[in-house]
Amino acid sequence: MTNNYRVVVHFDGTEYYGWQFQTAEYPTIQAELIRALKIIAKKQVLVTGSSRTDAGVHSSGLTANFHLPVAIEPDSLKRALNSLLPRDIRIMECELMDKSFNARFGAVGKTYVYRIFTGPVQSPFSQRFALHLPYPLDRKAMRRAARHFIGARDFTSFSSDEPGKKKLREIDEFSMRVKGDEITFTVRGKSFLRYMVRNMVGTLIDVGRGKIAAADIPAIFAAKDRRRAGQTAPAKGLTLAKVEYGPAPAAGGAAGVPDQDE
């Protein structure tokens, strides 16, 4: 008899090699959760994450689930995990779920946020979470370019080289908010390819610097060639902000598609 728990994990990804467990010398978020749960459960516990975030990427919404062989009240489990995890990883929500819930396959939508600070001097309180670009950007051109990413597209030109993987993805929202010296991009879709959000934002940065014209974005999509798009924006500006789920699947079932993202 096991119990299935869902947790929402906030983390500062600066010191980690992403979500996915690797060898012991590479600290990851998943490895830290597995370590903490082993202390609680007295055995190795499989932890499933909603997204495989890349090294240096942050989270205020990554969801994970795991099955424990013991019954623990969710608030007690949340406190226990936070007492065992590093201070830059926090469990913000914890609840008991139906056994069929799967954080990876049940996800139906994900929202990423990318932050840029354009002022001359960046505060140390934001330097781990926002890219510093202290030079002029053509924000109107960037807004025009961003519109081209919305909808169903083949994102070959904006993803890493993953042979055999289907590159068709659908973006529901790609918005750009400017407040003073801060630019915030919000990107929402069902699933993402590796480096996809960072490649899109990097291309918009190149548009803002005049290296790429906003009107060239459709041709870059059509080329299906990563070399035609812009730079890969650094990981530090990217945060997985939210993961959405539909109605709980029937026992033994799973909904959605696996993510291969950032």
What is the predicted pLDDT for the residue at 250?
36
Owner of token pair 């990981």: 235
Q: Dihedrals φ, ψ of 116, to 5°?
A: -130, 135
| Catalytic residue, candidates 12, 54, 259, 261 | 54
Q: Which two tokens stand for residue 66?
A: 């795991």
What is the predicted pLDDT for the residue at 248?
59
**Which uninterrupted H or E stretch holds 114?**
strand 107-117
What is the predicted pLDDT for the residue at 262?
61
pLDDT, one tens digit per residue, over 116-129 is 999 999 999 999 99
Q: Which residues of 183-210 are buried (b: 16+ CB within 10 A; e: fewer)?
A: bebebbbbbbbbbbbbbbbbbbbbbbbe
The amino acid at residue 192 is F
Q: How far apart are CA 163 and CA 228, in angstroms?
A: 18
The amino acid at residue 140 is K
Q: Which two tokens stand for residue 223?
A: 């080329």
Mean pLDDT by 10 residues, the chain (262 residues): 94 97 93 97 95 96 96 96 98 96 95 98 96 96 97 95 84 96 97 95 98 97 96 97 78 41 60
What is the predicted pLDDT for the residue at 163?
73
What is the predicted pLDDT for the residue at 99?
93
For residue 206, indicate whether it is catalytic: no
Q: How many other CB atoms are found less than 10 A from the CB of residue 253?
A: 11
What is the predicted pLDDT for the residue at 164?
75
Domains and CATH numbers, the chain: 3-105 (3.30.70.580), 109-241 (3.30.70.660)
pLDDT, one tens digit per residue, over 242-251 is 999 987 543 3
What is the predicted pLDDT for the residue at 261?
58
